[in-house]
Amino acid sequence: MSRSVVINKTIEDNLRSYQIGAKLRALRLKKSMGLVELGRHTGLSPALLSKLERDKLYPTLPTLLRVAMVFSVGLDHFFADESKRHAAAVVRKNERIRLPERPGVADVAYHFESLDYKCNDRLTNAYLAEFHAVDPDKLRPHQHPGSEFLLVVKGKLGLRIGVNTYELESGDSIYFDPSVPHTYRRVGRAPCQAMIVTAA
C-alpha cells in the first residue's frame, strides 16, 4: 500500500470520527428543510449535499461554512468535542455576517445578522434584522415551527400574521406563532431594525 493511500485513509478515519455528515443532516432536518431548498440557500447541488450527509464526500472549509451560515452555527459546531459545551459565546459586532431574506433576489424585505451563531446547541436563535420599504403586494409570506419574539429597536415595522396586520414602533414588541404565514416590512422612510428571537 502506497504512502499516499495510507495518508488518505488516516485522514478519512479521523474525519469520520467528527460525524460531519450526521451533523449536517441533523441541522437540516431540525429546520424541516429539504436538500433542494438547502441547495438554493448555499449554491450547492442537492446531489453534493446528499453525498456530504452520507459521508461519501468530505466538505472543504468554504463549503462547510456556506452550510454553517444558513443554520447560524460556527464551524466549531462540526469539530467541537461533544463533551465540552460553551457556557458562553461572544459575537462581536464586526464578526456578524449580513444575509438577505432570500438568496439571489435583489428586492428583499429585510437583511439579518445572527447574534449567537458561535454558541453550539442553543435553544434559541437571535437575529438583528434591518427592514426595507417593499411594495406589500410583492411580499412573500413565510412560516416555520416554534415560537418567535420580536422587539423593534429603531423605526416603525409593519407585520402581517395570517389575516391580521400590526404596526410596531421603537420599543414595541410582539410574540407570535410563526407557523402562521407572516411578513415584515418597513413603514415610512426612517431606518427600521428589530431583534428577533426564535425557538424551535
Tell me whether residue 164 is in a domain.
yes
Q: Is residue 144 part of a domain?
A: yes
**pLDDT bracket for residue 153 (50, 70, 90):** very high
**CA-based nearest residue to 108, from 130, 90, 89:** 130
Q: Of 24, 57, 79, which residue constitutes the final position of a domain?
A: 79
CA distances from residue 62 to 25, 42, 59 in whole angstroms, order as listed: 18, 11, 8
Going by C-alpha positions, the residue among 167, 165, 133, 170 that lies closest to residue 155 is 170
Per-residue pLDDT, 30: 87
In this structure, the answer to whether residues 34 and 121 fall within a common structural domain is no
CATH number of the domain bearing residue 181: 2.60.120.10
Clarify whether residues 113 and 152 are in a common domain: yes
Instruction: Tell me the CATH number at 30.
Output: 1.10.260.40
Q: pTM score > 0.75 for this model?
A: no
100 and 66 in a common domain: no
pLDDT class for 7, splitting at 50, 70, 90? low
Q: Which cell goes with 36? A: 433542494
Q: Would you say residue 87 lies in a domain?
A: no
> Which residue type occupies 39?
G
The answer to whether residues 49 and 98 belong to one domain is no
Q: Quick one: 55 and 123 in the same domain?
A: no
Domain end marker among 79, 114, 143: 79
Q: Grade residue 76 by pLDDT with cuts at 50, 70 and 90.
A: confident
Q: Please write down the HEC assignment for all residues of 90-131.
A: CCCHHHCCEEECCCCCCCCCEEEEECCCCCCCCCEEEEEEEE
Same domain, 36 and 108: no
Q: How many angstroms separate the CA atoms of 50 and 31, rounded?
A: 16
Residue 88 falls inside a structural domain: no
In a domain, 49, yes or no: yes
In a domain, 86, yes or no: no
Between residues 25 and 13, which one has the greater pLDDT?
25
- Domain annotation covers residue 176: yes
Model confidence at 17, in pLDDT bands (50, 70, 90)?
confident
Would residue 33 count as lying in a domain?
Answer: yes
**At residue 16, does pLDDT exceed 60?**
yes
**Co-location of 74 and 120 in the same domain:** no
Last residue of a domain, one of 79, 104, 126: 79
* Strand spans (E) along the chain: 98-100, 110-114, 124-131, 147-154, 156-161, 164-169, 173-176, 182-186, 192-199
Domain that holds residue 8: 3-79
Do residues 104 and 174 share a domain? yes
Question: How confident is the model over 167-176, as pLDDT tens digits?
Answer: 999 999 999 9
> Which of 43, 191, 188 minimizes the C-alpha distance to 110?
191
Q: How many structural domains comprise the chain?
A: 2
